[in-house]
Amino acid sequence: MKKEWDTIEVLRHERHDWMNKLQLIKGNLSLNKVDRAKEIIEEIIMEARQDAKLSNLRLPQFASTLLTCNWESHHFQLEYEVMDSQIFHRLDDQLLTDWTEQLFETLDSSIEPYQENHLSVTIEPQEKGIGFFFDFSGIIKDKNRLESFLDQKPGNMMKIISDGVVEGELTIEVFMETL
């Protein structure tokens, strides 16, 4: 079940993340590792740009799900990238969010906890919709559950393509058409 975040909780988590990043920069500077401190600053800038791009997709529920994912007790670490585009589409935000949250729940119950489990999401606006590419790598303990989830049809506006689970990896391509 997805946690409902209130403003104070969001600010608390975000402040905690910023304090950790500042401590990394401060620690590297105190060790005279200026180049590493600059790299961390660049990583923060790139992450902030991705957060802005995600927020600008006009998919508020989906964006919230991705932005808060790593604050929740998932058995995987999430990262995302929004490809550059000036194209904005109206999509079914609720359908996409519901499917993504179900994917997260299915992953959590299908993978080995406390391992190096990683989910990467690439978002690519296209002419007639948006492509979402989910790439998972880690230790999968219940391949059948994942494949069963992928066999479900979420609706006409959403097309899902996957080759299934292969050697601890799962790739899912989701295309959502414009409303």
Q: Write out pLDDT tens, residues 89-139.
A: 789 999 999 999 999 999 999 999 999 999 999 999 888 889 999 999 999
pTM: 0.88
Q: In what order do the strands lie in the sheet with 169-177?
A: 77-82, 118-126, 129-137, 169-177, 158-166
Q: List the domain boundaries for the chain.
A: 1-55, 58-177
- Among residues 174, 176, 173, the alpha carbon closest in space to that of 157 is found at 176
Work out the pLDDT band at 153, boundaries 50, 70, 90.
confident
Tell the CATH topology of 58-177: Heat Shock Protein 90 (3.30.565)
Cα–Cα distance for residue pair 88/65, rounded to 1 Å: 19
What confidence score (pLDDT) does residue 1 get?
Answer: 54
Tell the CATH topology of 1-55: Helix Hairpins (1.10.287)
Three-state DSSP class for residue 3 = coil
Which amino acid type is present at position 66? L
Cβ-contact 95, 102 below 8 angstroms = no
Q: Write out pLDDT tens, residues 33-91.
A: 999 999 999 999 999 999 999 998 889 999 999 999 999 999 999 999 999 876 667 89
